[in-house]
Structure formats: C-alpha cells, structure tokens
C-alpha cells in the first residue's frame, strides 16, 4: 500500500531537558515547564501564525528523536503502572511506537519576534527533550478536542504526586525562575519505574543543572545539585 | 537540520465518504458517522491493542491523502469564517499544511476480529475520506487532553447547525442504518463556502449514494438521491 510520507520538521523546541530522563509522562502535568518553539527558516513566515494568538492551547505533533533508529515493540510497560505491566503500544503514548510520533497539548504563553530566530512561540507544559523536532503546530479546538466525560482506561488520572523537599542551600543553586518548574517535574515522580529502594540515588539534567534525589514512599528529597557539563536553558 | 522522517501507514480507515466534499469540519461533530480502522498486515498484532478497550476515545494521526502532491500555503480560508477570511495555516486545522498531517479525536465503538482483516476498530465521528492512511492510533487521555476551559480563538463553538429536510420518498433510498449519520453531516453544512444562493444545487457522495441538496438560510433541503457509480460503504 502506498501512502508513505516524508515529513520535515517545521520547527524545533527548546526545553530545559538535555535527555528524556525526568520528563513528565504527559504534557501539561508540569504547567510551569516552559518550552520555546523556534521555526525552521523555511517556515519563518509571520502570516502562517495569523489568528493563533486567539487560542489558549496548541497541539504539537513531534518526533521522539532520541529513539530514531530504535524499533517499535507491540507491547510496552507504562511507567504509571509501575513499569511492570505490559500494555499494547497503541493503548499507550509510549515513544517506542511505529513512526515514533508524539502528541502534546501545551499552553500558549506568548508569541514574539526574536532577532535571528523569527517569530517564536513560548509554551507551557512541554514534555519534550531539548531540540525535539516539531512536525506540526495546530490550534486546540475545545468543541472538538475537549471531552471531559472521556474514559481513560488504565490512566484515569494524573497519578500520584510526591511531596518534594529541597534543602534551602541546594534550592539557592536553582535559578529563581526555574524553581517552580523543577518542583512540578519532581512532584510527578521522574523515576522510570517505581523501585521501593529509599537509598537509591537518581539523577536528572534540568536547566543546566544535574539534580540528584532519593524517594522514600511519597517523599522526594533532593540530595545534590551541580552545574551540568552540558548547558541547555530555555532563555 | 536533520530529523526528516519517513512514516508508513499503520492502518487505513474505511468511511462513507468517497471524496472530501461533505466531510464535517472537525471530528466528532457527526457522532453517528462510522469509520473502520483496518491495520496494515505488518501491524495486525493483537497484543499491540491490549488495554485499548478501556478507553472511550482515540486520537488518529492521519494523512490528507487527497492533497498529496499539493503544496502548503501560509494562509488559508477556514470554511467556518465563510471561506472569505484568511488565517495562518498553523492557526487552523486546514489540510493544506506542511507535512499534510491530520489529527482527529474519535469515539471508540468496538474492537473485533474479522476474517482476512485481523483485528479492526470501529470508531464514531470520523472526518476522513475513505481509504485515508492512519499513521498512529493513540488513546485519548482525559487528564492531559481534555481542557474544557481552553479558549478556541475564531472557532469557539461548533458553529451553526442547519435544519435538514428530506422528503420521505428520498429518505427511503437511504439505508436505514445510514440515515442519522447523513442527517448529522448535512446539519453541519457541507458546503465549502457560504454562498447565499438558494437555487444552487450541491452534491456529495455518501455511503454509495449521490446526495443533492439546496440551502436557503438555515434550512437544507435534499432534492435528489441517486445510487453512485462508485461504491463505498462501511460494512
């Protein structure tokens, strides 16, 4: 059957995540997470965004670029089920899927012109690695897209939220404007699987920092914060 | 910049629309419209759907296959604005967009095995031409995807609905199980643009029929129904 399609990024998104570790399971969970959509030169056409400012939310169709070259598997283990139960890939939003396309609803924060970048879009709640290719930007149309009575199968709610404890001397190392976003991310349990080992130290990169933490039951404690070798901070 | 991606259909959808004319502007507007997702042989793997039955709605990422070969334009004229006002393509769900990807939320009606087709999915509210390639099937996750307070720019609601009048002798030509879907489609004004010419006759193919109608103000009158040369009916 024909219908193979060659798609090109219309933009890339800048985020505070150097790797996928720590990224919330779904878009919108960490509202304070900012991302900046930078269009590719061929798509830096202001009139292509005309009218977008009237919408509060956007859809992004993007590529799980870290997986490029990986194959899909018919079943995956969703983190929200503890990483131990297999579900069909089409019943999940897992990255390891045919065609490797992601779908995220993000909040539209602002649209602005930036020197050398054209018109960029600042969004909230972005759950993507820095540099992720964006294949489409669409408006969120509430009457068609919002279905409050929809039933969410094995993902009926946002899941548990952890209490986040950051010692004051470590919190000072976090730029002020990144603190609430980091707390959001940590509260949504960035561990890939639930392992009930309170001694185990996890690490994640965020906004140019390397953040280490432990989890004991429902409490997440940050144990160390260092400046990361690789810089990536959403300006 | 790299990140070009070759994507392949995982499925095709069978619908009652032989062409794009008459298809509702968004998915879900015509709830009674049925579509059947038939997976490509390489993706006929039952376990890839495990857990999907727990969800009430699905996302489909699909291709505007009728447009293949057409180019995108930075601005388009949305039918809901009467077809006379230009908006940026990224502020609309227009098909004439870079990469030609569509996004639709549909209701999951049933999942069944069919001889020679593997496991198929019957969905409601599908706004696609018969044979449209589907590049991804994802569960609708209410806590991330449903945003009732979202603001919908120039598309704040489903738009006007027409009163549909079908003379009894014509209605008899419509298979009983297709009548409510056809009424839904007609009520949502299948004209490409609003032209206030009550004498003008429009035609659209639907479920193996050719349906002709006129519109005067808010009333749509079906004037003729014939059997179409090209058969396409969702079984």
Query: Could you read off the pLDDT of A94-144 as tens digits, one per residue?
Result: 988 999 999 999 999 999 999 999 999 999 999 999 999 999 999 999 999
Section A54-82 average pLDDT: 87
- In this prediction the pTM is 0.94
SS3 content of chain A, % helix, strand, coil (to 5): 20, 35, 50
Q: CA end-to-end span of chain B, whole Å?
A: 45
Query: Could you read off the pLDDT of B66-87 as tens digits, one per residue?
Result: 766 678 899 999 888 877 899 9
Question: For chain A, where do the domains classified as CATH 2.40.30.70 start and end?
Answer: 11-145
Residue A117 β-bridge partners: none
- Angstroms from B169 CA to nearest CA on chain A: 34
Place of tokens 């601005």: B75
Strands of B219-227's sheet in order across: B163-165, B219-227, B209-216, B202-206
Question: For chain B, where do the domains classified as CATH 3.30.2310.20 start and end?
Answer: 163-227
Give the Cα separation of B205 and B228 in Å (integer): 7
For testing contact with chain A, the best of B4, B6, B7, B57 (most A CBs within 10 A): B7
Section A140-168 average pLDDT: 94
Q: What are the residues whose beta carbons fall under 8 Å from the beta carbon of B227, sequence distance 6 or more?
A: B173, B208, B209, B210
Statement: B11-145 belongs to CATH 2.40.30.70: yes
Indicate yes or no: CB of B48 within 8 angstroms of CB of A101: no
Section A165-172 average pLDDT: 97
Q: Which CATH number fits domain B163-227: 1.20.140.10, 3.30.2310.20, 3.60.110.10, 3.40.50.970?
A: 3.30.2310.20
Evaluate if residue B233 carries a pLDDT over 70: no
Q: What is the pLDDT of residue B231?
A: 60
Give the Cα separation of B98 and A169 in Å (integer): 48
Q: What is the gyration radius of the CA atoms in chain B, in angstroms?
A: 18
Residue A75 β-bridge partners: A88
Q: What is the pLDDT of residue A196?
A: 78
Query: Could you read off the pLDDT of B146-161 as tens digits, one per residue?
Result: 999 999 999 988 888 9
- Angstroms from A210 CA to nearest CA on chain B: 27
Question: Structure tokens of A31?
Answer: 């509202």
Place of tokens 């509210």: B125
Nearest CA in chain A to B30: A144
Strands of A163-165's sheet in order across: A163-165, A219-227, A209-216, A202-206
Give the Cα separation of B74 and B86 in Å (integer): 10
Evaluate if residue B121 carries a pLDDT over 90: yes
Evaluate if residue A1 carries a pLDDT over 60: no
For testing contact with chain A, the best of B153, B159, B161 (most A CBs within 10 A): B153
Indicate yes or no: CB of A51 within 8 angstroms of CB of B154: yes
């Amino acid at each position: 059957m024909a219908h193979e399609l060659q798609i090109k990024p219309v933009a890339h998104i800048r985020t505070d995540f150097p790797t996928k570790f720590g990224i919330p399971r779904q878009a919108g969970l960490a509202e304070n997470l900012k991302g900046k959509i930078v269009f590719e030169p061929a798509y830096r056409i202001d009139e292509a965004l005309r009218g977008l400012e009237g919408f509060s939310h956007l859809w992004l169709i993007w590529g799980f670029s870290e997986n490029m070259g990986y194959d899909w598997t018919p079943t995956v283990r969703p983190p929200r089920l503890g990483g131990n139960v297999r579900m069909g890939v089409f019943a999940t939003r897992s990255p390891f899927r045919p065609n490797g396309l992601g779908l995220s609803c993000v909040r539209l924060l602002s649209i602005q012109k930036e020197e050398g970048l054209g018109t960029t879009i600042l969004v909230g709640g972005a759950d993507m690695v820095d540099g992720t290719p964006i294949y489409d930007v669409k408006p969120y149309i509430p009457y068609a897209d919002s279905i409050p009575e929809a039933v969410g199968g094995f993902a009926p709610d946002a899941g548990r939220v952890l209490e986040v404890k950051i010692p004051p001397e470590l919190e000072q190392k976090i730029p002020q404007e990144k603190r609430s976003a980091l707390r959001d991310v940590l509260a949504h349990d960035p561990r890939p699987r639930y392992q009930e080992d309170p001694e185990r130290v996890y690490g994640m990169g965020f906004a140019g920092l390397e953040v280490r933490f432990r989890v004991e039951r429902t409490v997440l404690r940050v144990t160390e914060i260092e400046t990361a070798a690789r810089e990536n901070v959403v300006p």
